[in-house]
Structure 1
Amino acid sequence: MRGTRQEGVANSMIGLTGTALGRFLPMHLCLDPVGRVRQAGPTLERIAGVDLVDRPFTEILTLRRPTVVSDIGGLLALEGRPLKLTLAVAPALPLKGLVAGLPDGGAMLDISMGISLIEAVSRFELTLGDFSPTDLAVELLYLHEAKSVVSAELRRLAQRLNGARVSAEQEAATDTLTGLANRRRLEATLARLLGQGRPFALMQIDLDYFKLVNDSHGHDVGDAVLREVAHLLRAQCRTQDLVARIGGDEFVMILADIVEPFHLARIADRLIRQIEEPIHVGGFECRISASIGVAVRARQDASDAKRIMREADIALYQSKGTGRARVTVFSPTADATGDPDAA
């Protein structure tokens, strides 16, 4: 009964029904002459989470600018001036307001969200129905929604383009037959390791007797053998290593942080033994082997990529020249024993 009487007093002052006033000013407070709430807008009550009628306005909000007030007189003294305020339920949420005096000594306070609109909508789960259709907040919400949709679509497009770029880069650096790295990726990896000053070993692997497989069984069988060798080499690699196919039956392995000749020779010997295992393709038993040349780049070595590749090639030439199915780790004296370019 009390609420009905107070609503009638407020409505007689402003000439609107409570529903209409709430529709036009969904975040208003209508105060009596002592500063208690006669009527509150539905959106404001939703944010507060409690019935605001009969509560002193000082329990509901705090004036921050232009000055702090503690009673209705201080509030009316700010009539017509832009106010900065916060609600007790959300002290970190900055709001705007405007106060106007009523004929009986009360006050009408209209509150808006300003730049805190999006935060308030998200925090208090507000919808378009919580705002007047003519409120600028409605337009801002539409713009925010449109921006969100466009931003999401741009993110999806960027992800697709980035995925396509990564795929294209991977394809450009991949040998199409074996799926191993190609010469382009090998060169990039060498440049990176040399730039980092990181020690590594480079193994150049040339298959022995592979031409006999091609001549005897055809290129389809030969391709299958190459794919099987690629699978074998990849299985021997760690994540920091690289295996590349740089020619018909030529492969290169880069082993990061391994530079001890004895250790490298053991790895290469193991690879040769595995490659010599019979490979069965289409009913044919294919037997091949491999010759390997190894070059080492120590941490303080000033070698460049061309020099390391040449040293591995010289060592490979030595392996083939001494009977094939062998491994040779390059040493400076090897350079005088033969030149692969002369072969």
Structure 2
Amino acid sequence: MDGLTVQDAALVGTDALGRLMPMYLWVTPNGLVRAVGPTLKKLCGAGPLIGTRFLDLFEVEKPRALLSMADVEAFSGQRILVTLKRGQGTTLRGQVQPLDGGQGWILNLSFGISVAEAVRDYRLTNADFAPTDLTVELLYLTEVKAAVMGELAALNRRLEAARAASEAQALTDALTGLGNRRALDAELIRACTLAARGEGQFALLHLDLDFFKAVNDTLGHAAGDLVLTEVAGVLREETRKSDTIARVGGDEFVILLRGETDPDRVERIGARIISELERPILYEGQPCRISGSIGVTLSRFYASPDPEMMHSDADEATYASKRNGRGRCTVWDGSSRPAEPEPGA
């Protein structure tokens, strides 16, 4: 617009200027608005614009605050930042172009990087931008990219949730909802590693149900399933959330009690579990009576706790409980190995 005169601007016509520059502002030398582009008019909202003082409509922020129209000439050719005092208080960017002969100046404005918010806030369309302005096309591409990235993120979240659910299912006993052998093995390896570094001791309890076979033989497998779910409930009640409980066989359970190092205390926990298991469980009006034999070993019994050896020692301690009459808890003391159980125990 170098060399533009007021006569040139008048010759082009304000409507044509508005089509070329939908966000232009024509200001007279005394600071009054003479003409305004249609998009800028939409931003300013209701109320008269023609004849309004420029400084009543806008606050100039950069390159410095503008307090008087006498200083506007100093902004010639510079990029300025203004904020609308009406409506949404939108911040706009633009450039001042003086008209020849001291006839005022024209300011052509744009949204800059805030165009997406402006389109949303003012419900702008393609018609609100100059025909040569690629803003709408770029905005469309940005929105498409955002939509695609949103869908990809949602897909990733669904895949991650499916993966987590699949992993949880692979580590869970379907009947009782407890961990399975795979889950126990992972936790026991982790616990042994920490204990070997002196970062936490634990107790390992092996529980084998007594008289469970009789329940299955007399009342059927549905009764047996009910008993197993009730056993799982007892174990949850008698342990903490930080402990690990797993069903590792038909009627075999293993409990990893973190932080437990006292054999007497662990034996009392085992006795309490057995006492709860011996409460009759009703199935279709018929009592199902079971008990439990528990074998225990402690990580502190080992110079370097080994998952396989601890499994074996807790298992053998369970056989000792069965040999000694069932319904009891035996703690392996680390000095000898319990005898094998009698057949049919």
Q: Structure 1-normalised TM-score?
A: 0.80
On the 8 A contact 2:59/2:82 being kept in 1, the answer is yes
Q: 2:18 aligned with 1:16, yes or no? A: no
Partner of 1:27: 23
Residues 125-154 of structure 1: CA deviation (Å, up to 9, x unaligned): 453278326332222332233233323322
On the 8 A contact 1:26/1:130 being kept in 2, the answer is no
Q: 1:174 to 1:63 in 2, by over 3 A?
A: closer
Q: 1:54 to 1:219 in 2, by over 3 A?
A: closer
For residue 276 of structure 2, give the secondary structure of its aligned residue in structure 1: helix
On the 8 A contact 2:63/2:79 being kept in 1, the answer is yes
Letter in 1 for 2:83: L
Greater mean deviation of Cα atoms: 139-148 or 45-54: 45-54
Partner of 2:177: 179
Q: 1:195 to 1:92 in 2, by over 3 A?
A: farther
Residues 66-122 of structure 1: CA deviation (Å, up to 9, x unaligned): 9x996343344x2xxx72534365999572436363576332221122323234446
On the 8 A contact 1:198/1:299 being kept in 2, the answer is no
Greater mean deviation of Cα atoms: 154-163 or 193-202: 193-202
CA distance in 2, matches of 1:226, 1:236: 15
State how 1:101-116 maps to structure 2 within 5 Å.
Answer: 101=99, 105-116=103-114
Structure 2 segments unaligned to the other structure (5+ residues): 1-5
CA distance in 2, matches of 1:299, 1:28: 85
The CA deviation at 1:180 is 1.2
Give the CA RMSD over aligned residues: 3.6
Q: 1:98 to 1:142 in 2, by over 3 A?
A: farther
Q: 1:253 to 1:11 in 2, by over 3 A?
A: farther
Structure 1 segments unaligned to the other structure (5+ residues): 1-8
The CA deviation at 1:206 is 0.3
Query: Aligned residues, how many?
Result: 327
Q: Structure 2-normalised TM-score?
A: 0.79
Q: 1:11 to 1:237 in 2, by over 3 A?
A: farther
Letter in 2 for 1:27: M
Partner of 2:3: none
For residue 308 of structure 2, give the secondary structure of its aligned residue in structure 1: helix
Greater mean deviation of Cα atoms: 245-254 or 97-106: 97-106
Q: 2:83 aligned with 1:83, yes or no? A: no
CA distance in 1, matches of 2:60, 2:241: 61
Residues 291-321 of structure 1: CA deviation (Å, up to 9, x unaligned): 0011222499631322322231232122122
CA distance in 2, matches of 1:130, 1:119: 17
Partner of 2:318: 316
Partner of 2:339: 338
Partner of 1:305: 307
Q: 1:311 to 1:71 in 2, by over 3 A?
A: same
Q: 1:41 to 1:168 in 2, by over 3 A?
A: same
Greater mean deviation of Cα atoms: 295-304 or 211-220: 295-304
Report % sequence identity: 39
CA distance in 1, matches of 2:100, 2:316: 100
CA distance in 1, matches of 2:301, 2:123: 63
On the 8 A contact 1:37/1:56 being kept in 2, the answer is yes
Q: 1:30 to 1:102 in 2, by over 3 A?
A: farther
